[in-house]
Structure formats: structure tokens, C-alpha cells
A and B are shown apart, each in its own frame.
Chain A
């Protein structure tokens, strides 16, 4: 065990590891590209669905159960399925990651909308806000913390799963994992795994900052007080 850790450290210490077309920095950009693009597309699809279900109250059952469905869906299966149609390009990776990210964002967005106080929504309508105004001025701001929870969960899952890009010969940190296995180089496998974990944690921290920035001040104060 100690031997392995030492080897992994040596792996990281190797200066040539970091630069060049196969270096860590290049792989980082690839991994970020797969992860962030997939998450952005997933948010663009999932957010409106979650908001719609939350606002109308129709399809709640669907929204609640989508998350379990998402967990049950084998990502590798999706990759292969899309690969059969699209051939060798990045489409299988993007489709699989987007499909992975959508359920958790839909479910959390719905949960955020469902948690908006009935009286608040009633008062908003009764005061004369129309449907869109209720959605964008009242429900969405109040649902922001839970929506962002969903996005954070999705990003962590997507970053971890973007490893599969290497499975069909593309880049990202998954390269180290798959190549390491192929070359029976355990240090490389672990090195790749550590990089993926660190990236996931870093993105989660960054998003928690964004979550704080997007949460309306009154809501943040209220939560802080009720947590005391």
C-alpha cells in the first residue's frame, strides 16, 4: 500500500507529466469541456422541465421518480447505443453525460418549486402577478438553493462519469485510468482517479459559491437564522 502511494506521488512529481498534448493540463481542459458542456446542456433542458412541473403541479410523480430512473440507467450502455448510431465522435459522451445529469436537476428543481410556501404563492397570485411573474419573481428565486443543489450533484456525477470519454478513445482524465489499466500501471490509474476527484471537489466548491451568490439575501438571512 505504502509502495503504491509512493509510486502515485512519483507519478505526479514527474515534470513532463503536466505539459504537452498528453499532459495533465491538456487533459484537464478536455475533462472540463466534456463536463461543463454536458452540464450546461442538461441545465438548459432540465431546468425548464422542473420549473414547468413545479409551477403547474402537473407531472409531479414523473419528476419525483425521474431521479431513481436516472440512477438505474447504465451510462456505458448509453454510450454504446449512441456510438452505434453516431460512429466514433464525441456525441456518445455528451449524450450519456447529459442524460445522466438531467434527472437529478429536474428532481431538485421540482423539489425547490414544491417547497415554496403555498401562502406565498397564493398571495402572489392574489396580488395580481400573472403566471410568468409568479414563476420568475417569486417561485424561481425561492427555489434557487435547491435548484443549485441539483446542479452541484449533477456536476459531481458528470465529472466522475466523463471518464468514459477515454473508453471510446477520447481524452480527459479518463485517459490515465484506461491507459493505466491497459498498461497494468496502477500508479497511473490512481493518479487519474485523484485528478478526477480533485476536479469534482473544486467544481462543487465553485458552484457552492455561485449558489450563495444567487440565493436572494432575505432567504439566506432567514435560513441562517432558522439553522441557529
Chain B
């Protein structure tokens, strides 16, 4: 566990980055520090591994004052990931990942095995080990950054806007991977971002900082969205607080209704007999393709010749927000549900989704 006790940080130029910070970061959870620039979130993060030393107060890791530990020794036991990945450009990917194990004096075979294992863990091909950082995409570099931080299996991981420099599609992917990793590894992760949506998506707990180094609120995402501490927090959370709340719960408990599907290889004539309005086209192995109206079918040929309104399949892990979004963009107002293999399992209606949302509201909106 990481704790801050009355921590202040004043820089030489007189600015106060962190003011009287008291905070306990729980073990095995992902804590997000969020706020606009200059609010002290990065300074707070960097005080944990002594990249910055506090002016006053105590920062403790597992009960020990970090100042009583040699900085390099401390840092070798705390993974560190930064925005531009900070990979060493003159070292191969394998050597980058091997940095801490080598500092710790592991033997060659153990280092080599660990590198391979980590490439698998972060979803990179093993043959990338011999490449250099500039030969990788931004998203791949960031994965290597995470692998390097995890190399010696440290219990704590510090991540300073790690996904800030990659495009939105890759960012979403990396966020999902981080959540998957955290499900397996249960690290104590401290994650800095200025993106509240990222904070809500990733955080078990969120700490909101205000310019001048004040911690304004420190609570779970649900608590934050339902009971913002003050106007600053409410403003920071943005106008769609209610919708954001829906991103915190999944479709798992929403019932699945049966739906008639027609495979793409079905002839148009046969497809017409399947229904008299919108029908759900699926690939031959059962994955959703989209909605097709029987009146818009071509004169002959197979269903694959039609141009469906694409419908993405939602797994049980998908959020209620994603489900609501799916119903709005579907011509029949239904969200398509899929099983773990991605095959169509049925549909859910907005009413069913809303019912679940209402129950969730009741759970989190305790007065």
C-alpha cells in the first residue's frame, strides 16, 4: 500500500505542486490520478518512486518512508511507464525489456525466458525482441514500455499518461489490454491521466486534483459520478455524468431475447420468406453482419450481396453505455448480443437495458 501523509511539494520557483496531501492508495487496485495540467497529479506520482522528493510530509510504500530507501533500489521494485514510452533507442526491444532484470543481476537464461514471457503477456510477437524501438508503431512501443515496467514483477506500477500519445483506436485497445492484464496480475497501479473518460473506464478508485495541488475527491467512479464533492468535480466530470455512469456496469444481467438470423449464403428469395421487415444477417459461422430490410434486397443472388446496416455484437462484458449506443444506431432499436465466441446469441431491447440501468442507479445512488 502507498500512503501520503501531509505531503507538500514546493518547487524552487515558488509554485506549489502538491498541498497537504493525505491519501491512501489501496493495494492491488488501479487508482487513477486525474485533473487538468498543473494540478500536481504527475508530481504526486513521481514522489512515489522518488523521481521527486516531497518538501514536507511522508510518502510511504508498504509502511516504509521512501526517503529511507536508496532511490535506485526503490525504483527497481516499482514499474514505471511514461507517455512517449521512453524506450532506449540504441537498445533492442529485448534489451529494453531486460533492463531491470539485468540491473538485478539475473542470469542470462532467466532474463531471456522472461523477455519472451513478457512479449506474450503484452501481446507482441516474439520476433520483435531483436528490433529497435523506432521500427515499432506507437502502440507497440507503449506495450514494450509496459513490458519493461513489468519485467521484474514489481508489486507496484506507476503509469504517467501512458496512452496519451497514441491515436484513439489504439488507446482504447491498450486500455482494454491493461484491464485484462490487471485482472490477471492484481498490481497496485497508480495511473495519471487528464482524460476523465479514461479515468472512469480504468479506475477502481479515482483521485481528482485541482490546480494548486489540492486533492478534491478520492472515491470510486460510481461514487464520483453520483456524488461529486463540489462544483469543480461536477464540472470536471462533464455534462453526461449519467451516461458515464452507465459505462460502469455491464450487460451481464440484461436478458437476451431470441432473434431470427439469416446466414449470408442464403438466397435472396429464401431470405425474403424469413420475415417481413428487418432481418439480422450473420456470417456463415454465426457472427453478426448487420440489419437488412427485406424490401431493400437485391432482385436475386444471396444475402451477402445486400448492404446491411452494420451491427456490432456486444459481449456480456460490454457496458450498458455501449448497449444503449447500439440500440440508438440500430434500425430496429435492438442491441445485438454475442457469446464468448462472437456468435449471435440474441438481442436486448432498450427497455431491458433501461431496467438494468435503473437497478444500477438504485445500487449506487445511495443518498
Contacts and interface: CB of A to CB of B under 8 A. Distances in A.
Contact of B82 (A119, A129, A130, A141): A119
Contacts of B132: 217-218, 221-222
A219 B86 contact: no
A126 B49 CA distance: 7
A127 B76 CA distance: 6
Interface size classification for chain B: 20 to 34
Nearest to B95: A218
Nearest to B132: A218
Interface residues of A, number: 23
B186 interface: no
A177 B198 CA distance: 73
Interface string B80-113: 1011111111111000000110010000000000
Interface string B19-61: 0000000000000000000000000000001010000000000
Nearest to B70: A130
A123 B133 CA distance: 14
Interface in B225-283: none
A120 B86 CA distance: 4
B80 A120 contact: no
A95 interface: no
B82 A123 contact: yes
Contacts of B51: 122, 125-126
Contacts of A138: 88
A225 B103 CA distance: 31
Nearest to A142: B90
B103 A218 contact: no
Interface string A206-228: 00000000001111011001000
B100 A120 contact: no
10 contacts: A120-B88, A123-B82, A123-B86, A125-B75, A126-B158, A127-B100, A128-B100, A130-B71, A216-B90, A219-B89
Interface of A: 117, 119-120, 122-130, 133, 138, 141-142, 216-219, 221-222, 225
